[in-house]
Structure 1
Amino acid sequence: MAAYEPVPTDEQQVSPDGSPTPTKPARSRLLKLSKPLLVLAALCLTALVSYKAGQWSVERRPPFEDERPAVAETHPTAAQDTEKAVASSIVNDTAEMPGNGKYSVGYFVNWGIYGRKFPPHKIPVQDLTHILYAFANVRPDSGEVFLSDTWADQEIHYAGDSWGDTGKNLYGNFKAIYKLKKEHRHLKVLLSIGGWTYSPSFHPVVVNPALRSKFVASAVRLLEDNGLDGLDVDYEYPSDEAQARGYVELLREMRHALDRHAAKKGANYRFLLTIAAPCGPDKYRKLFVREMDAVLDFWNLMAYDFSGSWDSIANHQANLFGGPLSASEAIGWYIAQGVARDKLVMGIPVYGRSFANTDGPGAPFQGIGQGSWEAGVYDYRALPLPGSYVLQDDQAVASWAYHYQTREMVSFDSEAVGAAKGAWIGREGLGGSMFWELSGDKNGEREDMERGPGKEPQPGRSLVATVKEAMGGLDKSPNWLEYGGSQFDNMRNGME
C-alpha cells in the first residue's frame, strides 16, 4: 500500500557498537560556535531548510514495503521529479490518494443481475475498496480460464449504452464497473476464478505445468480485455500434497505473469493477486502458506459456514470465538505461519443459515427453512424473519434470529455483531473485511425483484457500511485505467 512520509533531514549518529543514538539538537551544537561562525552557519542552515522544504518535503514509497530495495534512499533530481509527476498525472491523476487504510472487499456475483436485481450501479462504492467479480470458470482439459456468463459480463446494455457504436466494443457488467472505477479511483476490481461449484476443475490443472501455463495466460488476457486490477483464485480445496504444491506453483506463475504484463504495458502499477482462503483446520493445514504468502497481496479468509445443514447440531456459522470452529482461531493459525496481520482480510457473511425444529445453538435440529434463493440460506436483507427475535452470544461474538412458534433458528451477523467484528479487525491490526456477497445486503429497494417469504426486505442498516465504520478509514490507493491491449475498442479508448 502506498504511503507518504516526511524525508529525514538529519543523519543519525552511530555508537561504537553500531546502534543508532539520538541526534543532538542543532541548537546545542550551534551554541558552541563563535559568533561569526554562528551567523554564517545560521544563514546556511536557513537556506538549506528552505531548499528542502520547497522541493523535497515528501516522497512516495513503493507500492509495498517488502519491495523497497535494500539500499539507502536517495533524493531524485528536480528533472526526474518533474518527469515522474507529469507521468503520474497523465496515467492516473491519483498522486494525492493515500494508502494504508483498511480493505473492504465485496463479492459481486454475475448472476445477481437476474432474480436478485442487483446490477453494478447498486454496488456501494463508498463502502468498498475492492470488488471480487465472481466467477470465471476453468476448463479442466485445457486449463483455459473463461467467463461463465458472457451476456451478463460483456453484452447486456445498461442505461446510456448505445446500440449504434461502431467497432468491437465491451458492454455488460464489466463496462459498467469500469465506469465506476473512473468515477471512484479508489475502487479496484479483481476477477475471481473458481468458487465452490467450479473448483473441481482446478484439480487436474494445478498439477500440470502445461495446463497451468494456459490458465495463467488466459486469466491475464481477461484482465486486460475487461479493464481489471487483478486476479483472485477461489480454489476449494486442494485435497492432497500434489495439488497443494501445484497451487503454489500456479500462484507463483500468476504473480510473475502479472508483473511481466505490467512491465510490457509500461505500467507503474502492481496488479493484485489474492485468494479465498479456508478457515477449517482440515483444509488450511494442507496449504503451503509461507510459499503462497510470498506472492499474494492479501488473503480473503472465508470465516463463515462453520455450521450448516450438514451438521447434526444447530450452531453459529460465523462466530468470532469459541466453538468447534472460529474466525479468531483460523486467523491466529495463519499469523503463526508468518502471514502479516495486515494481509489477512476476514470474511463476513451477508446471509444467514437456517436450522429448523430446534431449541437454538447447541441443540439438535431437523431440516432447514426455505431460504431466500436456496433452501436453508437467507439474505441478510431479509433478516430477521418476521416474528423472530434476535439473540446474541457476547462471548462468541455471534447472533441468531429465533422464532418461538415455528422453532426456526437462523444464524447470521446482526448489526451489533458486524460492528463488534469491525472493531476487532481494527484492534487486531488486520487488513480489513470481506463480504459474501453484496446482493444480500440491506441497501434499498430493488425494482422488479421477486417477492415472497424469505425475500421480503426487513428494516436495518447495511452490514457492509456498519463494519466499515467500525474498522476505521479505508485504503484509498488508486486503481488502474489504461488497457491499450484490450480487444475492445471502447476499452482501449477508456470508454470516452
Structure 2
Amino acid sequence: MVGRAAVAGLMCLLFGAHALALPTAEDAGLVTRAAGKRAVGYFVNWAVYGRNYQPQDLPASKLTHVLYGFANVNSTGGVYLSDEYADLQKHYPTDSWNDVGNNVYGCIKQLFLLKKANRNLKTMLSIGGWTYSPNFHAPLGTAAGRQQFVDSAITLLKDLGLDGLDIDYEYPASAQEAADFVTLLKQLRQGLDAYSSRVGLPAGSFLISVASPAGPTNYEVMDMAGMDASLDFWNLMAYDYAGSFSNLTGHDANWAASGSNPGSTPFNSQQALDYYKAHGVSPAKTNLGIPLYGRSFTGTTGMGQTFSGVGQGSWEAGIYDWKALPLAGATNTDDDDLLASWTYDSSKQELISWDSMHTMQAKANKAVSTGLGGLMWWETSADRTGGDSAISAQVAILSAAGGMEQRNNVLSYPESQYDNLKACFPSS
C-alpha cells in the first residue's frame, strides 16, 4: 500500500511545474537503489553574495547529492540556520512578493525546484564545518544535548524539504567524544526512520553522511565501525594537506606519498583510505573529496621547499578558485605517480598546488579502479562551467564506469511549516 507521503508526492509531480507524464509510486520518493557512483557537491550559502553563485548555477543533472552548508549548533545542542536571508528569504526573479501564507524562498526553495526537475538529485543540510564545529563538543556530551540536536535537525529537514543530513564535525578529540558521536548518529538514524514511518515512507528514505578527516591525528580517534552502522556514506576530506600552516611547500590533495620528496607530501589519501577500510568502512561507502581550489606559496624555489608567504587568492589569502587557475605566467606540472599537480611562476617565486584537469580525471579513474563509492567536491562555486567543468569531466568518467547511483529524492513534506513547500511549489 502506498503511504500518504507517496500520494502527496505523486500529486506534486502531476500538478507541479515539472510534472511527469506517467508518475509511479517510485516518483513519490520511495527508496529505489541501483549500483552506481555518487557525485556529491557542497553548495555554501555565502556563495550567493560576492561570488554570485546561485543554486540555479549548480550542475544539477550531473550530481546525485548537494550538501548545503552550513547550519550551526547552539549551546544546548539546537541546530539552526546560519544565514536566514540566503537560506529562507532571498527572492529570485521568479519568486512572487504577493504569496499568501507562511512561505519559504531563498536557496531552500531553489534547491527544491532543482529536485523537482532532477529526481535523482538529493539535497542534504550540512551541519558544522570548520567554523561551527567547536560548538559540537559540549552539547554532544550530554543526553539532553544530543536529543536536542536530533530533534532540531529533523525539524529542519521536514520544514525545508531535505533528503538527509550531513554531519561535519571537525573533530572529536577524545575517545569519549568519539563515543558520543556514535550515539548521536544512532539516535539521528532512529529519529529519521521514525519520521519516515510517520509520513508513510520506508525506513532509510532519509540519508545521513559525515565529512571525515584524512589526517591520522583526527581519524585515529574515531570509532569508525560504530559510526558506519548509521551512515549511508562518508565524504573523505582529502585535501588541505599543505598550506599556510605548513613548514614547507606541499601538495594539497595528493593520492600517494612521495619517496623522492617526502617533505612535499605530509599526508596522502591512500593511507587514509587504507585505514578506513581496515577499520570497517567499505570503499563503496566512501566518496573521495576533490578540492576545487589551489593553495599558494610565495617566496619559494619549488615543491617541498621553504616559503615566506602566500598569494593573494580569489576570496581569501593563499586560496585560488579552480576556475582562476593556472595563473598567467605560471607553468603547470602533473605528477601521475602522486596524482597531484602544481604550477610555478619563477618570476614571482609563487607555487600553487592544485588538481589540474588531467589530475582530476586521473583521480576519477582511481576512484573507479579502487572501488570507491564516488567523489565529493568542495565547493561548487569554484568550478568552471560548461565543457570546462571539472565536476562534469569527472562525472563522465564515473558514469562510463557503470553508471551513477539511482535513488529518487523525496518531494512530499506534509509536516513542513511552509505552505508553498508543503504544496510542492505548485506555481513555480
**Is TM > 0.5 for Structure 1 vs Structure 2?**
yes
Matched, 1:133 2:68: yes
Hey, what does 1:177 align to over in structure 2?
111
**Contact 1:422–1:469 (Cα < 8 Å) also in 2:** no
Hey, what does 2:14 align to over in structure 1?
none
Matched, 1:239 2:173: yes
Superposed counterparts of 1:256-405, under 5 Å: 256-268=190-202, 270-322=205-257, 323-405=265-347
CA deviation map 1:263-294 (0-9, x unaligned): 11111352000000000000000000000001
**Contact 1:320–1:328 (Cα < 8 Å) also in 2:** yes
Matched, 1:463 2:390: yes
- List alignment gaps of at least 5 residues for structure 2: 1-22, 258-264
Matched, 1:151 2:85: yes
Give 1:90 shift.
4.9
Hey, what does 2:46 align to over in structure 1?
111
Hey, what does 1:199 align to over in structure 2?
133
- List alignment gaps of at least 5 residues for structure 1: 1-87, 445-459
Matched, 1:218 2:148: no
Hey, what does 2:16 align to over in structure 1?
none
Residues 482/93 of structure 1: CA separation in 2 closer, same or farther (3 Å cut): closer
Measured in 2, the distance between the counterparts of 1:229 and 1:96 equals 11
**Contact 1:420–1:470 (Cα < 8 Å) also in 2:** no
Residues 93/487 of structure 1: CA separation in 2 closer, same or farther (3 Å cut): closer
Superposed counterparts of 1:410-425, under 5 Å: 410-425=352-367
Superposed counterparts of 1:425-444, under 5 Å: 425-443=367-385
SS in 2 for 1:92: helix
Give 1:329 shift.
0.9
Determine what percentage of the aligned residue pairs are the same residue: 46
Residues 95/244 of structure 1: CA separation in 2 closer, same or farther (3 Å cut): closer
**Contact 2:343–2:352 (Cα < 8 Å) also in 1:** yes
CA deviation map 1:163-203 (0-9, x unaligned): 00101011110001100000000000000000000000000
**Contact 1:277–1:299 (Cα < 8 Å) also in 2:** yes
Measured in 1, the distance between the counterparts of 2:249 and 2:237 equals 20
| RMSD (Å) for aligned C-alpha atoms | 1.6
Give 1:476 shift.
2.1
Give 1:206 shift.
1.4
CA deviation map 1:17-76 (0-9, x unaligned): xxxxxxxxxxxxxxxxxxxxxxxxxxxxxxxxxxxxxxxxxxxxxxxxxxxxxxxxxxxx
**Contact 2:28–2:410 (Cα < 8 Å) also in 1:** no
Measured in 2, the distance between the counterparts of 1:343 and 1:144 equals 28
Give 1:244 shift.
1.0
Measured in 2, the distance between the counterparts of 1:422 and 1:391 equals 19
Residues 308/98 of structure 1: CA separation in 2 closer, same or farther (3 Å cut): same
The one-letter code matched in structure 2 to 1:347 is G
The one-letter code matched in structure 2 to 1:136 is A
Give 1:404 shift.
1.4
Q: Which of 333-342 and 479-488 deviates more?
A: 333-342
Relative to the length of structure 2, the TM-score reads: 0.90
The one-letter code matched in structure 2 to 1:495 is F
CA deviation map 1:248-269 (0-9, x unaligned): 1111111110111101111135
SS in 2 for 1:283: helix
Hey, what does 1:483 align to over in structure 2?
413
Give 1:93 shift.
5.3
**Contact 2:294–2:354 (Cα < 8 Å) also in 1:** yes
Give 1:91 shift.
6.5
The one-letter code matched in structure 2 to 1:151 is Y
Measured in 2, the distance between the counterparts of 1:228 and 1:247 equals 22
CA deviation map 1:189-248 (0-9, x unaligned): 000000000000000011111011001000000000000000000000111111111111
CA deviation map 1:344-390 (0-9, x unaligned): 10000000001111112111111000100000000001000111111
Residues 132/314 of structure 1: CA separation in 2 closer, same or farther (3 Å cut): same
Measured in 2, the distance between the counterparts of 1:401 and 1:122 equals 28
The one-letter code matched in structure 1 to 2:243 is G
The one-letter code matched in structure 2 to 1:300 is N
Measured in 2, the distance between the counterparts of 1:111 and 1:492 equals 26
Hey, what does 1:408 align to over in structure 2?
350
Work out which of the two has the higher radius of gyration on C-alpha atoms and give 1 or 2.
1
Give 1:477 shift.
1.2
Measured in 1, the distance between the counterparts of 2:33 and 2:207 equals 17
SS in 2 for 1:256: helix
Matched, 1:167 2:97: no
Matched, 1:99 2:64: no
Measured in 2, the distance between the counterparts of 1:286 and 1:253 equals 21
Hey, what does 2:15 align to over in structure 1?
none
Give 1:341 shift.
1.4
Relative to the length of structure 1, the TM-score reads: 0.78
**Contact 2:124–2:163 (Cα < 8 Å) also in 1:** yes
